[in-house]
Amino acid sequence: MTGSQEVGKAREATLNLRHEIELVTPALRRFAQALSSETEELASGCGDDIVHEALLRALKYERPPHGLSVRLWMYGLVCNVHRQEAGANQAVARDIRMRRHHTLREANGALWPEPLVAVTSALQKLDVEIRECLLLVALEGLSYAEVTEVLKIPMDVMLARLSRARATLAVQMKYNAVRPAPTGTRPLPSAHLRLVK
Amino acid sequence: MSDVMLQASDADLHRYVDGEGAQREREAVRQWLDVHEDDAARVDVWRLQRQLLHARFDGVLRESLPAALSLRASSATRFAISPQATGLHTGALRAEPPLTANLSDDSADFGTGHRLLGAYILGFCSALVLVCLLLLVHGN
């Protein structure tokens, strides 16, 4: 009897965990997509690959370790998977980027208003550590304390990374915005599009 | 007015933008920004960055979950299909439409060819059986 009760309890715990994970999955997809937007074309696919791998890893457990909340635990798993995959796919990603550079720029312009293209390409130039930090705070809305739990870093390191990420992003975006001006001859394909707030 | 800051640090500004810290602290930073335009401009840039990131990536939240990421319909064992089987790591999720269209066309042709061949063989076999039966009947 106790055996079957234990089995029932374990099953219930698994179901609870799955339910909780499912609630955060849409946000995890957004985070993974922003994190892995090495190239626009691959962003969606890469992001979902990362979330899938994170789900597989999570489902090996009944509950998050170290008393973490499911949400923070999953963000941490996504970061880990992304770091591993980014290392493994660096050569592949660079190769694709080289081959499709021009087509991608045109495709971007057609799909997204200029400021959104600028923020994405600036984002991908940030180091992974500071990109994670910026996205967890600015996109996912985690508190500073939560980010230190997810990334397992002290508060001052977190603040330094956040500060560096925001400064670098600002410089990159300014650079992207200014760069087409000197040439002046080639109008951007998306010049007629404006950011709607 | 006792809350007016002598100097707002970089960290203070970040904490202010991200809604960290107590109300009093935030109010002090706000007063600091009123009189320091360069810091106010940086804070505005950070806010703009946040708006742009949301504008660019929030669309994902409104998409329905891909089947491969949905835990609802599947049992614990069903989700444990290997990534290779789901095609996730082989790029099936991001396969280009023309490629899949071509593939399906090819396989359709392949299927028709096979069906025709099967019909010929079936016809030939049934003719053979008929001849055998006739021979048997005549033999008897």
Number of CB atoms found within 10 A of residue B80's CB: 11
A79-120 per-position pLDDT tens digit: 999 998 877 766 665 555 555 444 444 445 457 788 888 888
What average pLDDT is seen over chain A?
80
Q: What mean pLDDT do residues B20-45 have?
A: 94
Contact B68, B93 (CB under 8 A): yes
Tell me which residues of chain B have a C-beta less than 8 Å from any C-beta of chain A.
Answer: 10-11, 14-15, 18, 20, 42, 45-46, 49-58, 60-61, 63, 65-66, 68-72, 76, 79-80, 83, 86, 88-89, 91, 93-94
Q: For the whole model, what pTM was predicted?
A: 0.69
On whether any CB of chain B is under 8 Å from the CB of A27, the answer is: yes
Q: Which domains does chain A have, with CATH numbers?
A: 3-175 (1.20.140.160)
Note the ipTM here.
0.78
Q: What is the DSSP letter of B95?
A: -
B68-83 per-position pLDDT tens digit: 888 865 544 445 544 4
3-state secondary structure of A60: coil
Contact A132, A35 (CB under 8 A): yes
Q: Please state, in angstroms and rounded to a whole number, the distance separating the CA atoms of residues A194 and B28.
A: 35
A12-31 per-position pLDDT tens digit: 877 888 889 999 999 999 99
Residue A155 clears pLDDT 60, i.e. is over it:
yes
Contact A188, B48 (CB under 8 A): no
Number of CB atoms found within 10 A of residue A138's CB: 24
Cα Dmax for chain B: 123
Give B21's contacts (C-beta < 8 A, 6+ positions apart).
B15
CA distance, residue A92 to nearest chain B CA (Å): 13
Backbone angles phi, psi at B75, to 5 degrees: -85, 175
Cα end-to-end span (Å), chain B: 123
Q: What mean pLDDT do residues B46-53 have?
A: 95
